[in-house]
């Protein structure tokens, strides 16, 4: 899923960008190239729609293979992160080269990604109970 969001640029502009995720490949089919195929295909679609840059939280090991770099190298900071805190999860790719040239600022996660834990618990209560696990590589609880 892609969603529009923006960078609050230090010069006062709002730069429209995209965020993306989650993306998931069934465990038995991992490391066969499907994740990269799916990602690259969807990035081409986003570019064809005219979007210039995509930013999100992810693992450089996977996303780096599709041309993502640390967002800090584009001069973009993650919202609500103190100076000096680890920002190596925050990645960026220009779909249209030069989109972020001359832009520094703070990326904002779109409201649609924020979940109230109480709402999620209430939603989950409608399904048969499952054991809550934290798996290797998982970024969020």
- Interface residues with ligand COA (CB under 6 A) are 21-25, 30-36, 58-59, 61-62, 65, 137
Rounded to whole angstroms, the Cα distance separating 83 from 6 reads 20
DSSP type of residue 41: H
Residue closer to ligand COA (CB basis): 10 or 40: 40
Are the CB atoms for 77 and 106 separated by under 8 Å?
yes
Residue closer to ligand COA (CB basis): 4 or 32: 32
Nearest-approach distance from CB 46 to ligand COA, in angstroms: 16
Residue closer to ligand COA (CB basis): 105 or 107: 107
In a 13 Å sphere around the CA of 133, the CA atoms on its Cβ side amount to 5
Cis, bond preceding 133 (omega within 30 deg of 0): no
Residue closer to ligand COA (CB basis): 36 or 47: 36
Nearest-approach distance from CB 4 to ligand COA, in angstroms: 18
Residue identified by tokens 């640390």 is: 70
Nearest-approach distance from CB 132 to ligand COA, in angstroms: 16
Number of other CB atoms surrounding residue 108 within 10 Å: 17
Closest residue to ligand COA, judged by C-beta, is: 35
Nearest-approach distance from CB 48 to ligand COA, in angstroms: 21
- Of 26, 47, 24, 23, the C-alpha closest to 96 is 47
């Amino acid at each position: 899923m892609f969603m529009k969001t923006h960078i609050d640029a230090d010069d006062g502009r709002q730069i429209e960008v995209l965020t993306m995720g989650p993306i998931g490949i069934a465990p038995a089919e991992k490391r066969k190239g499907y994740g990269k195929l799916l990602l690259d295909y969807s990035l081409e679609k986003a570019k064809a729609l005219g979007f210039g840059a995509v930013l999100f939280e992810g693992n450089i090991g996977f996303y780096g293979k599709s041309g993502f770099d640390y967002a800090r190298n584009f001069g973009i900071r993650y919202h609500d992160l103190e100076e000096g805190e680890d920002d190596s999860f925050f990645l960026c790719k220009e779909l249209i080269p030069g989109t972020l040239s001359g832009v520094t600022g703070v990326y904002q996660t779109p409201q649609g990604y924020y979940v109230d834990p109480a709402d999620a618990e209430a939603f989950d209560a409608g399904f048969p109970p499952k054991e809550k696990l934290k798996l290797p590589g998982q970024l969020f609880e």
